Amino acid sequence: MTGKRRWTWLLGVLAMAAGFSMMVAAYSAAGTKHKTAATKPIGTLRAVLDTIDYLDPQQAYTGQSWWAMWNVYETLLTYRHVDGPGGYKLVPGLAQSLPTVSRNGKVYKFKLRKGLKYSNGAPVKASDFKWAIKRGFLAQGQGVGFYTDIAGAEAYSKNPTPGGNIPGIIVNNKKRTITVKLVSPRGDFLTILALLFAAPVPGNTGPEIQNGSIPGTGPYYFASYDPNRSFVMVRNKYFKPNRFIPRGTPNRVEVSLIGDANTATQKVSSGQADYSNAAIPPDRIADAKSKGHLVLRQTANTYYFWMNIREAPFNKLKVRQAVNMAINRKSMQTLVWGGLGQSTQNVLPPTYPSYKKLNLYPYNLAKAKQLINQAGAKGAAVKVWTRQVSDAVTAATYYQSVLNSIGLNATLTILPRATYYTTIGNVNTHAQTGWARWLEDYPHPLDWFDVLLNGERITDQDNNNYAWYTNKKTNKEIDQLKKAPVLTPSVNKRWAAVEKQIMQQAPWAPWSNRVFPEYFTKQIGCIHIQRLYGIDLARLCRK
């Protein structure tokens, strides 16, 4: 290479380097600018929820209440603030790390993080966890059934007193340690501890229901609560964000409770609210989409019709199979929620690793009629039960017409929302068939099969197994799988086999995995959905 050429080559390299540097700088600048725009603080978020039940961690049992409370009450373990399946991963919450579990799967040891404080400034003690569990039993909270496997909890539940003891929970406030002992191993116990029912509350909290007045440990606390109208969440100044629990982006969240979906949707469309979780009426969905951000939230849920295998004519397998074949699941998605759902014949929703799509009952009305005739059930009187909620009535009305079309003589009984499940779950009601849905409490197949279809868990009152389904083989397999602590591929396969066994007996006619529309104004960006709890306040931003 000559000297001139060398200089030319060197200048060329320098020019390229300079150009590359400028490109990188420009990209970085653009990135920074973009980042700045994306993280613009949200100030006050005006949200509209359709309803909540309670704002008390030991009592609340609805998705809407949990969405709010997930940001107020932290549990020993919690879930990651990420989209998609990663949101099912358990991470330390108030605990310093994931617990150590004994070899026999019965003893769990936790240590609380240092310097934890409630929103009133009081320190969080290890004994507060024990009090939360005891408080659940004392107040007959809706989630106490999850904790009866703790040693001594069953006995405590029979005669709960504030001074009584659950020997299976050993706490040391000085060392910040919590040890939980179970009577038998339980594969889903960590997810059960992550439920809000187990969120520590100050030891001086009375057992009575206290909506929004219990100090929290999360990024927010409830500043006010006006029953059935509204509540406000504001930042908790004592909260310290960490790797797994970030700070929320809104300074303040004002929540209005509006039951009418049309009104709730209109509030967002007209800019009076930033967000609504109301079920947008199917004929307004396109309009809503054009006026705001419509985000579809896929949660783990299954909508189904149960058939009581103890009651005629559903005590005959052919009748149950006929019903499964007669339901036009695709058509139902449109009729009930404007198409925002996926047809299913599975118990488990498709978000589960144990899910294996079943197609045992293709739509065939003629075959269904034939099966009813073969079973000798033609003209049999059937009472279809449902609850007084718009989508449930629509679905049950369609179901009733299906039963009539295959030769049964079906009538509809609609019960008030508040008494529906207790009525159909009572053995004396002798409910034959009806509408039901299940939304996951925690991401584990046991939350479905053990609660809803394990014959050994049937009770005469408050029974969740509305089909009164029991099968020795299935029950035994569920009991064995209960002990498996980790959902390995082989465990998942076994769950899928259990599901197929059950659906071959057709105690249910599952028909939909619904997606929920979440509706935002166009000014709201960075919309992320945590699979279990919904819209993530930690990542919202204003455009």
Partner 1 sequence: MAEPATDLTPLGDNAALLAAEEHEVQIVGRSPTYLAWRRLRRNYVALFSLGVFLLIVIACCLAPVYARHIAHTGPNTIHSSEQVRVSGKLRQVVGGGSYYDAKTNTFVVRAVSVLGPTWWHAHGRFVLGADSLGRDVAVRMLYGGLNSLKVGIGSAFICSFFAIVLALIAGYSRGWPDWIISRFFDLIWAFPVLLLAIAIGSALQVNGFHHFGINIEPGSIWIPLLVISYVLIPYIGRPLRGQILSLREKEFIEASVGQGASPLRIMFSDLLPNVASTALVFFTLIIASNILTEAGLSYLGAGVQPPEPSWGNLIADGQDHIRTAPWLAIIPGLAVVLTVLSMNIFGDGLRDALDPRAKVRVEH
Q: Give the count of residues interacting with partner 1 (CB under 8 A).
A: 38
In the three-class reduction of DSSP (H, G, I as helix; E, B as strand; rest coil), residue 6 is classed as: helix
Strand bridging mode 341-342 / 301-307? unpaired
Q: Which residues from 106-145 bind partner 1, rule CB under 8 A?
A: none
At position 33, the amino acid (one-letter code) is K
Distance CA 119, CA 108 (A): 28
Instruction: Return the DSSP state at 210.
Output: -
Question: For partner 1, which stretch binds (CB under 8 A), given 74-82, 93-101, 178-186, 332-340?
Answer: 332-340
Among 377, 412, 503, 540, binds partner 1 (CB under 8 A): 412
Whether the Cβ atoms of residue 452 and residue 319 lie closer than 8 Å to each other: no
Q: Which residues from 312-331 bind partner 1, rule CB under 8 A?
A: 328, 331
342 interacts with partner 1 by CB under 8 A: yes
Give me the least distance between CB of 541 and partner 1, in Å please.
Answer: 23
Q: Which residues from 483-522 bind partner 1, rule CB under 8 A?
A: 515
**179 CB-contact burial (10 Å; exposed 0-12 / middle 13-18 / buried 19+):** middle
Among 123, 202, 338, 353, binds partner 1 (CB under 8 A): 338
Which of residues 261 and 436 has its CB atom nearest to partner 1 in the complex? 261
Among 44, 172, 213, 411, binds partner 1 (CB under 8 A): 411
427 interacts with partner 1 by CB under 8 A: no
335 interacts with partner 1 by CB under 8 A: yes
80-84, Cβ contacts within 8 angstroms, sequence gap of 24 or more: 80/244, 80/530, 81/244, 81/245, 81/246, 81/528, 81/530, 81/536, 81/538, 81/539, 82/528, 82/530, 83/528, 83/529, 83/530, 83/531, 84/531
Q: Where are the beta strands (DSSP E) in 156-240?
A: 169-172, 177-181, 220-226, 230-235
413 interacts with partner 1 by CB under 8 A: yes
Q: Which residues from 272-301 bind partner 1, rule CB under 8 A?
A: 281-287, 289, 294, 296
Which of residues 64 and 344 has its CB atom nearest to partner 1 in the complex? 344
Neighbour tally for 325: CB within 10 Å? 22
Question: For partner 1, which stretch binds (CB under 8 A), given 19-27, 396-404, 472-480, 494-502?
Answer: 396-404
Give me the least distance between CB of 272 and partner 1, in Å please.
Answer: 17
Give me the least distance between CB of 417 and partner 1, in Å please.
Answer: 10
Residue in the structure block whose two tokens are 């889903």: 188
In sign, the C-alpha dihedral spanning 303, 53, 448, 317 is negative
Give me the least distance between CB of 410 and partner 1, in Å please.
Answer: 10
Instruction: Return the DSSP state at 85.
Output: G
Task: Please report, as ranges, the residues that interact with partner 1 according to CB under 8 A.
Answer: 261-262, 281-287, 289, 294, 296, 328, 331, 333-335, 338-340, 342, 388, 390, 393-394, 397-398, 400-401, 411-416, 419, 423, 515
